[in-house]
Chain A
Amino acid sequence: MAKALMAGNSIIGEAAIRAGCQCYFGYPITPQNELTEYMAAHMGRRKGCTFIQAESEVAAINMVFGASLAGVRAMTSSSSPGMSLKQEGISYLASCELPSVVVNMSRGGPGLGTISAAQSDYFQSTRGGGHGDYRTIVLAPSSGQELADLTHRAFDLADKYRIPVLILGDGVLGQMMEPVEFQYEAPEELKVRSNPLTGAKGRPGRIVKTCTSNPAEMEELNWSLFRRYQLIQEKETTSETFLTDDAELIVVAFGIGARIAKGAVKNARASGLRVGLFRPVTLWPFPSEKIAELAKRTRYYLVFELNMGQMLEDVQLALRGRGDAFFYGRPGGVIPNPSEVLRVISRHYFQKGLR
């Protein structure tokens, strides 16, 4: 397919349809409304597909639960305050090992906050988010093209590991128009996963549940989930490095933050500073080993986020004292430009005597 110019929210919608998403359940919240609207326009009349504007984010995530029981690819999307409401459902999806895709085009908080882009939901996204001991895979796209590619990957990962997968975007990614090329055509026939819960045809009844009165059974579920999480950490961790080979200082940033940081890194290089960029694409599993590898050569890490320092903790854990991490962030929906980040890079660069 030739390149198309599309807004991020629409890109996710189109990519989801091409990934064989059969059911979409949404609820209006800015800055992700265009995604819900895209699905209303394109899924409602598609054969075998369902679009519902739910009565709440709580209902939407539970509709995803129901559709996933039936073995079809299902998705919901929201933004930060709505994501808080979905956490109960995500916990149940994780417990029942139901594949599902949840998009968060996040905004500034806490509370109702602003509708401007922020990355304040990093903790909520990467630490499970709801109650209980569980993880979700978290993908952090940073461009229109990546929104398309990672949306497709999200559905594949969800099915492969029977796990909820989060796409953590933000208001800028959702609204910004960029060229995009879709790698896949929409499937002619929608697939149903094996073992759907649609009626006990020729077999005993099957139960999908989370509740048990036996702590040993609950512990076994937790062990089994964590064995799978270990496998995911081993196989699915993804990151991007940019000009890190000879870098004296590496900026660590994700999503739209990394996009801003990349501009700053390019400008730093133009003025002769040996600066690189490290961008986690999967926020969970976090690319800790990759950072540990970089730390063999590079000592200084500037973590840049559109929050007050959340991924910073993962970077520090990954470094385990083998490098120095410092932080620069703008929370609340304020979006700095590359020159602001460049000033911070330069200050650290010269203070550390790197020149």
Chain B
Amino acid sequence: MNKVFSRPASLKKMTFHYCAGCGHSIIHRLLAEVIDEMGLRERVVGINSAGCSVFAYHYFDIDMAESAHGRGLAVATGLKRASPGSVVFTYQGDGDLAAIGTAETIHAANRGERVTGIFVNNAVYGMTGGQMAPTTLIDQETTTTPYGRDPNLEGYPVRVSEMLAMLNGVAYVERTAVNSPSAIRRTKKAIQKAFQVQIDDLGFSLVEILSPCPVNWKMSVIDSWQWIDKVMTKEFPLGVLKEPPVRG
């Protein structure tokens, strides 16, 4: 009998610690599938960050290092420059990439570092218990915006991908989601493309993934999937924000 579905080789035989309905486990699996299918396991290095995914390295059977909160793309820069043959990605949440690490993110992207950012946007600080993130939506209730995010006090959700797409060093940016089978397939394709852009030496690549956090959103899993479609994508529209240049 043909085996048609199994655990990717780049993923260890371990149970994810993530909450029920969390998008991280899906994204981990997609990354591992892409790494296997593109044959990158022996030259890929992942840099993960502080936040819910701080223990991501326990699940992957690839080289991985932890970076200080927000510094992932600076670490990735140093690593990639010292080892240009490696394929380097960061795995960062919204607080990590878009608040404390904003400077590192923008400048690595602007230098066109040949690295790939996997940016998981769930509109809250998950690990610390659901505080406001830079990507928290207007009126969204979090533990530090108990009356909803008020733009007069807390400003507006930061659209990082749109900002990065404006920079010349950036070759490819796409925003996807993981709240339905088709969205998951689209995300996998985007991750593939982002790695290919890096391998083809075209510039910086980033995939922003809208990811459910039912526990901190205080929703059922199904409701959180629907909330992504009905609310989150209005602020953060899905799609390609920057297409890589065609090699002629």
Chain A interface residues (CB < 8 Å from chain B): 22-23, 25, 50, 52, 54-56, 58-60, 62-72, 74, 88-89, 92, 96, 196-202, 204-211
* Contact of B82 with A22 in the complex, beta carbons under 8 Å: yes
Q: Who on chain B is nearest to A98 by CB?
A: B65
Residues 45 to 97 of chain B near chain A (Cβ within 8 Å): 45, 47, 50, 54-55, 57-58, 60-68, 71, 74-83, 85-87
Cβ-closest 4 pairs across A and B: A66-B78, A63-B78, A62-B74, A199-B43
In whole angstroms, how far apart are the Cα atoms of A30 and B140 in the complex? 45
Q: Which residue of A lies closest to B71 (CB)?
A: A62
Q: How far is the CB of A124 from chain B (nearest CB, A)?
A: 18
Q: Is B42 an interface residue (CB 8 A)?
A: yes
Q: Is the CB of B65 within 8 A of A69?
A: yes
Nearest-Cβ distance from residue A225 to partner chain B, whole angstroms: 17
Kindly report which residue of chain A lies nearest to residue B60, judged by CB atoms: A205
B79 and A205 contact, CB distance less than 8 A = no
23 A-B residue pairings within 8 Å (CB atoms): A22-B82, A50-B81, A52-B81, A59-B107, A62-B71, A62-B74, A66-B80, A67-B81, A69-B45, A70-B79, A71-B82, A89-B71, A92-B67, A197-B79, A199-B44, A199-B62, A200-B42, A200-B61, A201-B43, A205-B57, A205-B62, A205-B64, A210-B66
Query: Chain B CB within 10 Å — which of A55, A96, A210, A211 has the most?
Result: A55
Task: Tell me the smallest distance from the CB of A346 to a CB of chain B, in Å.
Answer: 51
Q: How far is the CB of B182 from chain A (nearest CB, A)?
A: 31
Interface size on B, residues (CB 8 A): 40
Q: Is the interface of B mostly helix, strand, loop or mixed?
A: mixed
Contact A66 B76 (CB under 8 A): yes
Interface contact B65-A197, CB-CB below 8 Å: yes
The interface residues of chain B lying within 8 Å CB-to-CB of A63 are 74-75, 77-78, 81
User: Measured between alpha carbons, how far is A267 from B217 in the docked complex, in Å?
Assistant: 75
The CA-CA distance from A68 to B10 in the complex, in Å, is: 24
B29 at the interface (CB under 8 A from A): no
Question: Do residues A66 and B74 form an inter-chain contact, with CB atoms below 8 A?
Answer: yes
Task: Give chain A nearest CB distance to B114 CB in angstroms.
Answer: 13
Supply 16 further A-B pairs (C-beta < 8 A) apart from A59-B107, A65-B74: A62-B71, A63-B77, A63-B81, A68-B78, A69-B65, A69-B75, A69-B78, A69-B79, A69-B82, A92-B67, A197-B63, A200-B61, A200-B63, A205-B10, A208-B65, A211-B55
Q: Does B186 contact A (CB under 8 A)?
A: no
CB distance from A287 to the nearest CB of B (A): 33
Task: Give the most central of B71, B81, B85, B104: most A CB within 10 Å.
Answer: B81
Query: Whole-angstrom distance from the CB of A262 to the nearest CB of chain B?
Result: 39
Residue of B whose beta carbon sits closest to that of A63: B78
Residue pair B57, A200 in contact (C-beta under 8 Å)? no
Given contacts A200-B63, A204-B61, A208-B66, is CB(A67)–CB(B86) below 8 Å?
A: no
How many Å lie between the Cα of A207 and that of B41 in the bound state?
Answer: 14
Q: Which of A66, A70, A92 has the most CB of B within 10 A?
A: A66
Q: Is B158 an interface residue (CB 8 A)?
A: no
Tell me, yes or no, whether B199 is within 8 Å of chain A by CB: no
Please determine whether A201 and B82 come into contact, CB atoms closer than 8 angstroms.
Answer: no
Residues of B79-125 contacting chain A, CB below 8 A:
79-83, 85-87, 103-104, 106-107, 111
Question: In the complex, which residues of chain B have a beta carbon less than 8 angstroms from the beta carbon of A66?
Answer: 47, 74-82
Query: Nearest Cβ distance between residue B239 and chain A, in whole angstroms?
Result: 29
When the two chains form their complex, are residues B45 and A199 in contact, meaning their CB atoms are under 8 A apart? yes
Chain A residues with CB under 8 A of B104: 55, 58-59, 62
Determine the residue in chain A with the shortest Cβ distance to B10.
A205
Kindly list chain A residues whose C-beta atoms are within 8 Å of the C-beta of B79.
66-67, 69-70, 197-198
Most chain A C-beta atoms within 10 Å of own C-beta, residue among B61, B67, B106: B67
Task: Report whether A55 and B107 are in contact in the complex, using a CB–CB cutoff of 8 Å.
Answer: yes
Complex CA distance for A211 and B98, rounded to whole angstroms: 21
Contact A23 B68, beta carbon cutoff 8 Å:
no
Contact A198 B63 (CB under 8 A): yes
B82 and A55 form a contact (CB under 8 A):
no
Residues of A near B65 (CB, < 8 A) are 69, 96, 197, 207-209
**How far is the CB of A257 from the nearest CB of chain B, in Å?**
33
Whether the pair A209, B66 counts as a contact (CB closer than 8 A) is yes
In chain B, positions 28-46 with a C-beta closer than 8 Å to chain A are 41-45
User: Do B67 and A62 touch across chains, with their CB atoms under 8 A apart?
Assistant: yes
User: What residues of chain A lie closer than 8 Å to B75, measured between beta carbons?
Assistant: 62-63, 65-66, 69
Most buried by A among B61, B79, B106: B79
Bound CA–CA A52/B79 (angstroms):
13
Q: Are B41 and A200 in contact (CB under 8 A)?
A: yes
Nearest A-chain residue to B17, judged by Cβ: A213
CB distance from A16 to the nearest CB of B (A): 15
> Is there an interface contact between B74 and A197, defined as CB atoms closer than 8 Å?
no
Q: Which residues of B contact A54 (CB under 8 A)?
A: 74, 107
A65 and B74 CA atoms in complex are apart in Å by: 9
Contacting B64 at CB < 8 Å: which of A22, A50, A52, A207? A207
Whether A198 touches B85, Cβ cut-off 8 Å, given contacts A207-B57, A211-B54, is yes
A56 to B83, CA, bound (A): 22
**Most chain A beta-carbon neighbours within 10 Å: one of B58, B83, B103:** B83
Task: Please tell me if the beta carbons of B103 and A59 are within 8 angstroms of each other in the complex.
Answer: yes
Enumerate chain A residues within 8 angstroms of B54, measured Cβ to Cβ: 211
